[in-house]
Structure 1
Amino acid sequence: MSLYTTARSSLRTTSMLSQGCAAFRHFSVQHARQSTADALAPSIAASFLSKFQSLGPQTRSQVLDANQLQLLSLTLNRPSLHPNSPSLSNTSGAVSAGTALPPAYHLAYFTPAFLENELGADGTDASYNPEAPFTRRMWAGGEVHWPRGADGKPNPLRVGQEVQETTRVLSAEPKIVRKTGEEMIVVGVEKEFRNEHGVAVLDRRNWVFRKALIMPVPSSSTPNAPSPVAVEPASSSTSSAGQTHTRTLRQTCVTLFRFSALTLNPHKIHYSSSWAKDVEGHKDIVVHGPLNLISILDLWRDTRQSKTTDPELLLPESISYRATSPLYAEEEYRIVLDESQGDGVSRVQIFTPDQKVAMKAEIK
């Protein structure tokens, strides 16, 4: 069996995804039951899956440009891609052709391409939405593989390459929240990224689709003006104790805006405070799931830069992850990477300020 086949098989059977797609809420879910008289999710999920199976894989190509990689690194408040590499701040031509993308930086490419009137009410790309009312999307988790070649080395995506992205819908499962009886649909999507050397990245994502919200009626009273808030730049600090590494981060509304703009992600929970609070019920704008994934992998590679002579080949074999609670702008949170078990697996947890687990991951 080839490494590519093994990776794809693992993607289809990953255990972390099957443990539950909470996606920003501690929901306990079970398969939707047909016996519920007004259950919509099973039939809509089946119709959605049938539609995309008949359509088949969707493919598009793109040349990976240097500007996008430079802007992503600056948005992440990283002045350079690797230690001892040129500064990217306020320079032109700092990223040369052939520069390898660090793990998960492919998320800045192949951005959605839609007119605003083609987006969902919450601003999300609706191209993979099930039918109404299941149109409210959240990123629940996923798994990414970087296949190895016959020489045991990865095949990194590089600036200047023409890359082909192929998207496949793998699954659509109806679920019910036990505590509330709320229906939802969990959609599994695989994105394959291929360059001239073959498959470079296999990225499987699980999205949770919940029923659309009823828009609140605007209040006739004039709201009180918000109190001025002192805004400081985003911050990051890292400490290590034995085989445990901790990075404390604070993402600002500026960082979230820049990440949304760079990835053309118009989901309103990431930049509209009124939407996030009044419509979605969050206490502030929400840190992006993909941004958390990148932050996890940045900590992983930063803690092993000294172990390699070629930082551009510093790619894990895989990462599996799932979101369990939201993180908010301007709050400090911790990423804890634990390698103490000595089995070659890096276990990661992101903790909210009140010590809830916001995301779990395993890196191999």
Structure 2
Amino acid sequence: MTSTVNLQDWVGREIERTDHLRPEPARFMQATLDRDPTFATGDRLPALWHWLYFLEASRSSDLGRDAHPKRGRFLPPITLPRRMWAGGRFAFHTDLVLGQAATKKSTIKSVVEKEGRTGPLCFVTVHHDYLQAGQLALSEEHDIVYRADPGAHAKVTEPAQAPEHAEFSQTITPTQVMLFRYSALTFNGHRIHYDADYARDVEGYDGLVFHGPLTATLLLDLACRQTARPPKHFTFRGLAPISGLAAFHIEGQQNKDTANLWARRADGALAMSATASF
């Protein structure tokens, strides 16, 4: 599955980045979501919009086949070629405020190799702490999964179906412009989001792939608008890709202090499941 490098040597590795949370990226994100760009210095950054900041500026010559930065520096040198955002867990301690500096401290928490139904897998979990004015504002655990290219005779597993009885729902209609804008805002070069030939012919998708982090952002945004309350915790898990620019639904059911959330593809498949607490 991997080279003779001991991937466990990467567990515990740390990196720290500092960024100034300028209002402009948040305004660009508002425009990407078809909202009036109103954010200004002093405003609260919405939940999960921190992904617009602390970006890694890798040289073009330091990118891999998929246009992600080559591995072996902070992330371990896993040889499996396909990389996906598998899920994440978040604790919101206090607001991140626009117009101020903030620090992101990242630590590789675990590296686990497995044999899945469709071939070898490797899971990397990275813990991030985000601090502003010396105070912990947000804690995040980020799950990355690496897998092999799809073979000609690869097993096709049918995804689970999404729940049928949503209390609230919103239709999302992806466009190439939306995917391009979010990729640009997050400096995400992954070709599956803008190179349809690569997405289909190399990684085996139906077409351009909707960003998993953007799906999670939309789910939590929907829940916050539904409850009119800021989140305390949020967790999500990607279960099936959303690809081909087909419209899909973000949906949920509200309990007293929690919301069960999911993304339902056009074919009814459960693309993402999530839970938010308030």
Identify whether the pair has TM-score above 0.5, normalized to the shorter chain: yes
C-alpha distance 348-164 of structure 1, shift in aligned 2 (>3 A):
same
State the shift of 1:73 in Å: 1.1
8 Å CA contact 1:42–1:173 kept in 2: the answer is: no
Deviation at 1:95, TM superposition (A): 2.7
Partners of 1:328 and 1:77 in 2: how far apart?
A: 21
Equivalent residue, structure 1, for 2:15: 58
Instruction: Name the counterpart of 2:269.
Output: 356
**How far does residue 77 in structure 1 lie from its aligned partner after superposition?**
1.7
SS at 2:144 equivalent: strand
How many pairs are equivalent? 262
Partner of 1:315: 230
The question of whether the paired residues in 1 share the 8 Å contact of 2:149 and 2:203 is answered with no
Contact 1:186–1:206 (CA under 8 A) maintained in structure 2: yes
Q: Are 2:228 and 1:271 aligned?
A: no
How many Å separate the matches in 2 of 1:176 and 1:266?
28
1:250 aligns with 2:173: yes
Contact 1:112 1:265 in 2 (8 A): no
1:1-364 superposed matches below 5 A? 40=1, 47-53=6-12, 56-79=13-36, 88=37, 94-127=38-71, 128-147=74-93, 155-178=94-117, 180=118, 182-211=119-148, 244-305=167-228, 314-339=229-254, 342-364=255-277
Alignment identity in percent?
27
Partner in structure 1 of residue 162 of structure 2: none
Q: Is the 8 A contact 2:2 2:78 kept in 1?
A: no
Does the aligned pair in 2 maintain the 1:146–1:201 contact within 8 Å? Answer: yes
Go from structure 1 to structure 2 and tell me whether the alpha carbon gap of 1:315 and 1:191 turns closer, same or farther (over 3 Å shift). Answer: same
Tell me, yes or no, if the aligned pair for 2:10 and 2:76 is still in contact at 8 Å.
no
The residue type paired with residue 142 of structure 1 is G
1:211 Cα deviation after fit: 3.4
Tell me which structure has the larger Cα radius of gyration. Answer: 1
Residue type of the partner of 2:24? N
Question: What SS is found at the alignment partner of 2:106?
Answer: strand
Distance 1:199 1:329, change over 3 A: farther
Q: 1:123 to 1:164 in 2, by over 3 A?
A: same
- Deviation string for 1:191-228 (max 9, x for gaps)? 110001511111111000123679xxxxxxxxxxxxxx
- SS state of the match for residue 192, structure 1? strand
Equivalent position amino acid for 1:249 in 2: I
Give the TM-score of the pair, scaled to structure 2: 0.88
Distance 1:71 1:322 in 2: 26
- After superposition, the Cα gap between the structure-2 partners of 1:343 and 1:41, relative to the gap in structure 1 and judged at 3 Å, is farther
Q: Tell me: CA distance 1:197–1:244, structure 2 relative to 1, closer, same or farther (3 Å).
A: farther
* Alignment partners' CA distance in 1, 2:4 and 2:239: 27
Q: Does the CA-based 8 Å contact 1:41-1:174 persist in structure 2?
A: no
Structure 1 counterpart SS, 2:197:
helix
| Contact persistence 1:41–1:175 (CA under 8 A) | no
**AA partner of residue 207 (structure 1):** I
SS at match of 1:134: coil
Q: State the Cα deviation string for residues 11-34 of structure 1 (Å, max 9, x = none).
A: xxxxxxxxxxxxxxxxxxxxxxxx
Q: Is the 8 A contact 1:133 1:212 kept in 2?
A: no
Displacement of 1:175 after TM fit?
Answer: 0.8
Shift of 1:294: 0.8
Assess if the C-alpha contact under 8 Å between 2:127 and 2:139 holds in 1: yes
- Rate the CA distance shift 1:276–1:344 in 2: closer, same or farther, 3 A: same
The one-letter code of the counterpart of 2:34 is N
Instruction: Give the aligned CA root-mean-square deviation in angstroms.
Output: 2.0
Structure 2: segments with no counterpart, 5+ residues: 152-164
Matched residues in 2 for 1:296 and 1:248: separation?
A: 11
Q: Distance in 2 between matches of 1:323 and 1:184?
A: 15
Aligned residue type for 1:279: V
Contact preservation (8 Å) 2:87, 2:142: yes
- Whole-Å separation in 2 of the counterparts to 1:246 and 1:195: 34
Give the AA of the match of 1:138: M
Q: Distance in 2 between matches of 1:116 and 1:143?
A: 31
Contact 1:251-1:330 within 8 A present in 2 as well: yes
Counterpart amino acid of residue 274 in structure 2: A
Equivalents in 2 of 1:130, 1:213: separation in Å?
22
